[in-house]
Structure 1
C-alpha cells in the first residue's frame, strides 16, 4: 500500500505533500480521430474526474493507435478498442491488466477470452432505429452496411442484429454492403447504391450501420431525386456532429452509450488495479437515445408534387429560397401548388418554407455558442429582425427566450 508523506512547513507555510500514491500509468489505445472513440475516451476522463483514480494517461500525439509500438511500454494498465483486430492480436498476451471495448457479438464464442469486455449493444441499437421507423409508419426496411473486412466486424454484427429484429425470410436480401470509399471509385459506388435504392419498395426505411454510410444514402437519394423522408426515411448510428454538418437534410441517428462505455471500462480497470476480481462476462451498454431529425420523419403523402416540393425545400430553405423558386422547379402555377399543399398539409408553400427555417433555427439555438444573428443567416432569414418576428408570430417568444426555455426545461 502506498503511504503519503507528511507535509512539512516551508518558507511560505505548510506545503503540500512531496510524495503520495504513485499514479498508475494507463495507455488508451483508441483512434481518437473517430467520434465513437473520442466519446469513449471522454467517458474515461469523466470517471477519473468523479473518483480518486490517479492515472497518468498515454495516448499517441496524433490520436492514431499503434499497438505494435507498445512492446516495452511497462505501464500499469490498458484500455483499448478491440474492434481493431491488430489491437486485439497485439494485446492478447499483455503482461498488464487490459480492458477491451468494442462491438457486441451474436455468438458468445466471439468475445476475447480472459479479458474484461465492454460492448455497445448492437441488437438494441438496431431495435431502437427499427422501432422509430415503425412509429412514423414505415413497414418496409433495408440496411446499408459496409464491405466485408476484418476491421468491419462490428458492421457484420449489426447485419445479424438487423436480420433478427426485422425477421422474415427476406431480411438478409435487404442488406447492401456497397463499396469501400475511394476517390477513384466514388462515382461507381454511388451508381450501384442508387440502383439498389431505386429497386426497393417505397416508402422505405433505411438503417445505416453508421452515420458515414447514412450520409452516402442521403447523397444517393439527392442525386437520384428520391424524396427524403417521404420515399426513403434514413437513420444512422453515432450521432456524429460532422455528418450533421455535411448533410443538406438533417440526419436522424441512434446515440450510442459511448460515454457510459468509457466510464464502465475505467471502473473495471480501476477495480483490477486495486486488487479486485476481473469481470468475466461481457458488459453490454444500451444506446443512450435517438436524435430525431428530418431524414426519418416520414409522413405519408399522396400528392407527388407536394412530396417533391418538400424534398426541394428541405435542401434549400436555408439558402433563402422563395415559393416562386419551388414552383419553377416543379413547373406548376403557384396557385395550383398552394392548393395541393393545403389539401395535403393544411398550409401553403410559403408556410412550408417558413416552418423549415424555423425548425432549423430552433435546433441551432440549442448551441449556446452561436449568436442569434449568425443563426438567422444560417437559416435563410433576410434579417435578424425578421427571424424575431417569425418567432413571435409562431411561438410567442423571441429566439433568446426560446433558447433560455430549452436550457431550463
Structure 2
C-alpha cells in the first residue's frame, strides 16, 4: 500500500535528474476491529483511499493488555480513524491532539468530533420497504441493551414504521446495558417477548449478531422463521448471515465507503482544513435478501403466486402477460391488487426485482455492465442504463465505481 515517489528526469536525458524531496510517510492509527466483517470492510475502504491518494502506514486495531482498543504508549502519528464507543475513549484520543475521525454513532454527535457514519434514516427506510414488499404489516425492533451500538437505528425504524401508519413493538427486557445475563435467562426473556407479538411479523434486528441470536432463539422456542417471525439484520456479516438457520437477510451497510470517506476527510484535516461541524451520513448499499424474510405475508393466494413468479423469473425478461399465463386472474384485477398490497403495478414490481438484482451483480468485478444487464433481464446495456439511472440517479458505471472503490463522485469539502 505504501507508494514511493518516482524519480523524474529532464527531457532529453542530458541533464542530471531533478532533485525532489520524497513525500513524508504519514503514520495513521486505525482503531477499528479486525475480527468482524464490517470492520474489515471499513479498513478496506481506508486502504483503498491510501492506495490512491496517500503515502500512509496504517497501524491496525491496536489493543492494550486487556484487549481493549487503544493506542500504544509513545506512538507518534499524524492522524486517527476510530470506532469510538465511549466518552472516555474519545477524551483519551482527543488528548493526543491529532486529527481524529470517528466511524460509528455509538456516542452522540458533539462539537469538535468529525464523523463519517451510516445514514440511519436511509437504513430504516430501506428495512421497512423490504418488509412491506413482502406483505408484512406488523413490525418490531430487536436490540438487547448493549454498549456496542446507539439507539439511533431503533428510533429511526420506529419513526418510519409509525409514519407509514403502523405500530412497532420494541424489545425492552428491563435491564441496563452492561449487565451480564446467562444464555438461559436471555433466551427466556426474548422468548417471552416474541410470544407477545402478533404473527406474522417482520422484525429488524440491530445487527447481524443480534439477528442470528433472535433466529436461534426462535428455533429453540419452536417459532418458525420466517413464517411466524421474519428476521432482517441491520448489518451484513457474511459468516453470521450464512450460517444462521435460516440464512439471514441483512442491510448491506456501506462500510467500505465509510472507511474511504473517513480517510478522505482525515487527509483534508491533516493539511489544515477545518473539521466539519456535522457528521457525514452514508446510505446503505441495499438489502441482501435471504431465507429469513422469504415470505409473502399476503392473504390473497393469487397475488402471492404472482409475486413468487416475478421473483423467480423477473431476470429472465418476463412481462405482465407472462404472469397472466401463470395465474388465473384478469389483468385489471392484477393491477388493482398489486396497487392495494404493494402500492405499484406488476410491471413496476418486475423492474424493481431486476434492479435489486443488478445492484448486487454490479459488486462483482468479473462481470461487465452488459453481462449484468443481460443477467437481470434487460435486452441490452443501454436499456439497463436508462432504467438504472431513472431509479437511482446514477449510471451503472458510476454506481459500480462507488461500490467497489468506496468513493463518492464528489469530494468531501471541509
Q: TM-score, normalised by structure 1?
A: 0.64
- Correspondent of 1:196 among 172, 193, 200: 193
Equivalent residue number for residue 203 of structure 2: 206
How far has the Cα of 1:197 moved from its partner?
0.9
Distance in 1 separating the partners of 2:197 and 2:68: 42
Give the aligned partner of residue 239 of structure 1: 236
In structure 2, the CA distance between the partners of 1:19 and 1:214, relative to structure 1 (3 Å rule), is same
Q: Gapped runs of 5+ residues in structure 2?
A: 10-15, 301-360, 365-370, 382-414
Judge conservation of contact 1:81–1:87 (CA < 8 Å) in 2: no
Q: Aligned residue for 2:171?
A: 175
Mapped partners of 1:15, 1:266: distance in 2: 33
Cα 1:207–1:89 shift into 2, 3 Å: same
Gaps of 5+ in 1: 9-13, 304-365, 369-400
What SS does the corresponding residue of 2:148 show, helix, strand or coil? helix
Task: Give the CA deviation at 1:251.
Answer: 0.9
Structure 1 residue 163 and structure 2 residue 164: aligned? no
1:25 is paired with a residue of what secondary structure? Answer: strand
Q: Are residue 83 (structure 1) and residue 85 (structure 2) matched?
A: yes
Q: How does 1:263-342 map to 2 (within 5 A)?
A: 263-300=260-297
1:133 aligns with 2:131: yes
For residue 26 of structure 2, what is the aligned residue in structure 1?
24
Separation in structure 2 between the aligned mates of residue 250 and residue 17 of structure 1, nearest angstrom? 59
**Any idea what SS the aligned residue of 2:203 has?**
strand
The SS at the match of 1:91 is helix
Task: Check 1:118–1:60 CA distance in 2 against 1; reply closer, same or farther (3 A cut).
Answer: closer
| Conserved? CA contact 1:43–1:262, under 8 Å | yes
> What's the offset of the Cα at 1:18?
10
Structure possessing the higher radius of gyration over alpha carbons: 1
Cα 1:239–1:181 change in 2 (3 A) is farther
Partner Cα separation in structure 1 for residue 193 and residue 126 of structure 2? 24
Deviations 1:148-205 (A, max 9, x none): x4x2342x22221122112289957533458889997112211221121122111101
Q: How far has the Cα of 1:59 moved from its partner?
A: 2.0
- By how many angstroms is 1:124 displaced? 1.8
Q: How many residues align?
A: 306
**Aligned mate of 1:152, from 139, 148, 152:** 148
Within 1, Cα distance between the matches of 2:18 and 2:245?
A: 55
Counterpart check, 1:118 vs 2:113: no
Contact kept? 2:158, 2:168, Cα under 8 Å: yes
State the shift of 1:137 in Å. 0.5
Say if 1:183 and 1:81 are closer, same or farther in 2 by CA, change over 3 A: closer
Residue 28 of structure 2 contacts residue 81 of structure 2 at CA under 8 Å; is this kept in 1?
yes
Residue number in structure 2 paired with 1:324 = none
Look up the match of 1:59.
Answer: 60
Q: Which has the higher helix share?
A: 1
Which string of whole-angstrom CA distances, capped at 9 and with x for unpartnered residues, describes residues 41-65 of structure 1?
Answer: 11101111232x1001112467997
